[in-house]
Structure 1
Amino acid sequence: MRLGLEEMLQLLQEVERGDPLDFADLPMDDDELRRLVMADLLQRDEQLQTEASPEECQLIYMLSTARLVLENMLLHLRLMRLEQPEGTAEAQLQSVLRRLRGDDADNK
């Protein structure tokens, strides 16, 4: 199923309802930024679909997602270090790492 830009923007809006992004202090229009990013992703996807097998596409998307999640986590941790007293950010980092490893220590 191939969706166009408008349909993808509507789906993105639905996703953001559950976990909204904060564009509060950025000097740009958030809807226009979403549109630019989604248009770029759709263009890259169209090109990738013509050049790679479905398995290669899935691998590329998985690796890209992992890279973005890691980058987001690093940025988040850096912000925590700047905003929170020393030690608090480290404790939160350890909590995040335990959850990622599947440890239930935080839930006991």
Structure 2
Amino acid sequence: MKLGLEEVLTLLAAIEQDYPWLTEELPFDENALRRLVVADLLERDAMLQQQGVSAEDRQLVYLVSTARLVLDNLLLYLRLMRHETLPDEQLAEVRQLMQRLARGEGRL
């Protein structure tokens, strides 16, 4: 399925309804940042396709990239927890994730 910029932005907006992006303190235009990131991802996907990378290998690239981004995000939250108090909702999410990791959930 080939999606364009607007379709991906629409899907991203649907996801953000359940998990809003907290940007109130950032001096950036949220929509411009979304467009920049999505456009970059679509460009990278097109480049991989032009290089003849199979759909299966592209999926692996996306899986590994997503895992890296989730880990980076987790580390940022943990660093924030050291220096400032997170909002209760975010703190609860981090604690739940850490409990799941301690129990070994998420392992194959």
**TM-score, normalization by structure 2:** 0.79
User: How many pairs align?
Assistant: 96
Deviation at residue 102 of structure 1 after TM alignment = 2.2
In the alignment, is the contact (CA less than 8 A) between 2:77 and 2:94 conserved in 1? no
Structure whose alpha-carbon radius of gyration is higher: 1
C-alpha RMSD of the superposition? 2.0
- For residues 40 and 79 of structure 2, the distance between their equivalents in structure 1, rounded to whole angstroms, comes to 28
Query: 1:19 maps to what in 2?
Result: 19
Unaligned runs of 5+ in 2: 86-92
**TM-score, normalization by structure 1:** 0.79
Higher relative contact order (CA 8 A, sep 6+): 2
- For residues 61 and 17 of structure 2, the distance between their equivalents in structure 1, rounded to whole angstroms, comes to 27
- For residues 78 and 3 of structure 1, the distance between their equivalents in structure 2, rounded to whole angstroms, comes to 35
Unaligned runs of 5+ in 1: 85-91, 104-108
| Matched ranges for 1:1-108 at <5 A | 1-51=1-51, 52-84=53-85, 96-100=97-101, 101-102=104-105
Percent identity of equivalent pairs: 53
Deviation at residue 35 of structure 1 after TM alignment = 0.7
- For residues 28 and 78 of structure 2, the distance between their equivalents in structure 1, rounded to whole angstroms, comes to 24
- For residues 83 and 97 of structure 2, the distance between their equivalents in structure 1, rounded to whole angstroms, comes to 18
- For residues 32 and 41 of structure 1, the distance between their equivalents in structure 2, rounded to whole angstroms, comes to 14
Query: 2:90 maps to what in 1?
Result: none
